[in-house]
Amino acid sequence: MKCFSCGADNQDGAANCQACGAPLNQRPQFNLQKRDIAKAIIFSIITLGIYALYWFVKMNDEVNQSIGNPNDTPGVTALILTIVTCGIYGIYWAYKKGEVVDNYYANKGMPKPNNAVIYLVLCLFGLSIVTYALLQNELNKAAEGAI
């Protein structure tokens, strides 16, 4: 049985994770907001990128919360680091969030889609908005319970 908090393998029937001590019998509760991707892109264009900044922060916080690590780099901090580093941290961020999605699929026993590399390449070519759309699509699937 996999731990929802840290992803460690545990014996079936164990009450707590052997690695982190989290209870194994209850899935962490989190609130993912399902967003219309087309509207998010249009709002980002209309507001000259301001909505994209908000979207970035919200997605970051929702991913952190969904993996059971809400204390990971907060969205506002990730945004500030992205601005200060002229986008370099944003490329790193995209790769790491892709890894989170890949690990989520692997923990569910599904084949890893290799999102980390896809998100990295898209950001390197200046297509961060596409990365946001793909990540939001994965969040929408998780909100619906499809994955």
CA distance 56 to 77: 11
For the full predicted model, state whether its pTM sits above 0.85. no
26-69 tens-digit pLDDT: 655 556 788 999 999 999 999 999 999 999 999 999 988 887 77
Residues 55 and 121 in one domain: yes
Residues 83 and 20 in one domain: no
Range of the domain at 7: 1-30
Residues 26 and 46 in one domain: no
Q: What is the DSSP letter of 122?
A: H
Structurally, the chain folds into a number of domains equal to 2
93-145 tens-digit pLDDT: 999 999 998 988 888 888 888 999 999 999 999 999 999 999 999 999 888 87
Characterize 131-141 residue by residue with b for buried, 16 or more Cβ atoms within 10 angstroms of its Cβ, and e for exposed: bbbbbbebbbe
Residues 77 and 139 in one domain: yes
Angle between helices 88-107 and 50-66 (to 10 degrees): 40
Residues 51 and 113 in one domain: yes
HSE (side-chain half, CA atoms, 13 Å) at 85: 13
